[in-house]
Chain A
Amino acid sequence: MASSSSTEHTVKDNAGDGAQNPETKEEDKKDDSMFECNICLDTARDAVVSMCGHLFCWPCLHQWLETRPNRQVCPVCKAAISKEKVVPLYGRGSSKQEDPREKVPPRPAGQRTEQEPGNSFSGFGFGDNTFHMSFGIGAFPFGFFTSTFNIGDQRPHAAPQGTQQHMEEQFLSKIFLWLAIVFLTWLLMA
């Protein structure tokens, strides 16, 4: 009895091993298909990724975009894409030989930004027209005197020098400055 049960065990174990092997192989295949080009269904060569995240061979994607110049969409999700806005994937084992017979232009280079330096504070912004001072007179009794300082506030930029608008703005600001001075002196006198 005991011996027969033990043989059963070994048989089962063997069967289990046999079943495991193909499974692991299939898993390998699945891993491979993760990196298959969505157009040729082969492992992506000169891989690029669209902004919507889909992987292609650069030659495949290039030909797709050439085929329909007026309809530049992702072959998978139909999001708008363009040749310039793809990210190349540089794997470690990628070969750098390029076949001169290839008519496809090289894929766009990766875009990298330098690490930001520690001190990124760019001052108060006096230099770039972001400092404004305004002075207002309220007609309502409680709002006699209103003044605001806007530091770093985003406002429409001043009109370029020499234009009609620039002149008018200069003129207006002078009038208001004088008005403010007159008003202040009147306040002091009273």
Chain B
Amino acid sequence: MANIAAQRIKREFKEVIKSEEVAKCAIKLELLNDSYTELKGEIAGPPDTPYEGGNFVLEIRVPETYPFNPPKVRFITKIWHPNISSVTGAICLDILKDQWAAAMTLRTVLLSLQALLSAAEPDDPQDAVVARQYKENLEMFKLTAKHWTNVYAGGPFVNSDCDDKIKRLIDMGIEEHQARVALSSYNWVLERATEQLFS
């Protein structure tokens, strides 16, 4: 059965390369091995979202039973989103689980993920901390997501306030990413983040 999976990925790969989304630089797909089981995807952050201007890299693993079972996809680029784990990059999206259909392709998966970035589902979260922030303090969520996009995905929006606070924690001997996570989780209140880090 591995045969049908490889055959299909081969065809899909061609389809993606020719697609207009690639021409518009909205999605990208790269093969990582000759057996068509591991690929690297890339999606552009959709406009008018905190992810605008960022490029998000995805790890795609194609199971032997593909296309009868969905590909395993996770974010390699760190991202602040209610449905994506800020720690592992694991994605909570129905079509990658029980709502998968055999006619879906890597192209539609990448486009669905892009759509997920513009329409979060905080009621079905993967990252509870992010989802809570999204529901309780949307502005704070947007600021944090923008900052993460800037730092990890090459987004254009620099937030000097965030950078300053992280620097102060680094000066206290905290690792940068750890400091960012703590501050992001506590709405960028330096005291609470420090408290949590040293408790």
Chain A residues engaging chain B, CB cutoff 8 angstroms: 38-42, 54, 60, 63-64, 67, 71, 73-76, 78
Contacts and interface: CB of A to CB of B under 8 A. Distances in A.
A67 B68 contact: yes
A153 B36 CA distance: 66
A39 B102 contact: yes
Secondary structure dominating the interface of A: loop
B137 interface: no
Contact of B103 (A63, A67, A76): A76
B101 A73 contact: yes
A40 B3 CA distance: 10
A71 B8 CA distance: 23
A74 to B, nearest CB: 8
Interface residues of B, number: 14
A9 B197 CA distance: 78
Contacts of A71: 98
Contacts of A60: 4, 102
Interface of B: 4, 7-8, 11-12, 65, 67-69, 98, 101-104
19 contacts: A38-B102, A39-B68, A39-B103, A40-B7, A40-B8, A40-B67, A41-B8, A41-B11, A41-B12, A42-B7, A42-B11, A60-B4, A60-B102, A64-B102, A73-B101, A74-B101, A75-B102, A75-B104, A76-B101
A42 B5 CA distance: 12
Nearest to A76: B103
Given A39-B67, A64-B102, A75-B101, 5 more contacts: A40-B8, A40-B67, A41-B7, A63-B68, A74-B101
Contacts of B68: 39, 63-64, 67
Contacts of B7: 40-42
Contacts of B65: 67
A75 B103 contact: yes
A90 B15 CA distance: 29
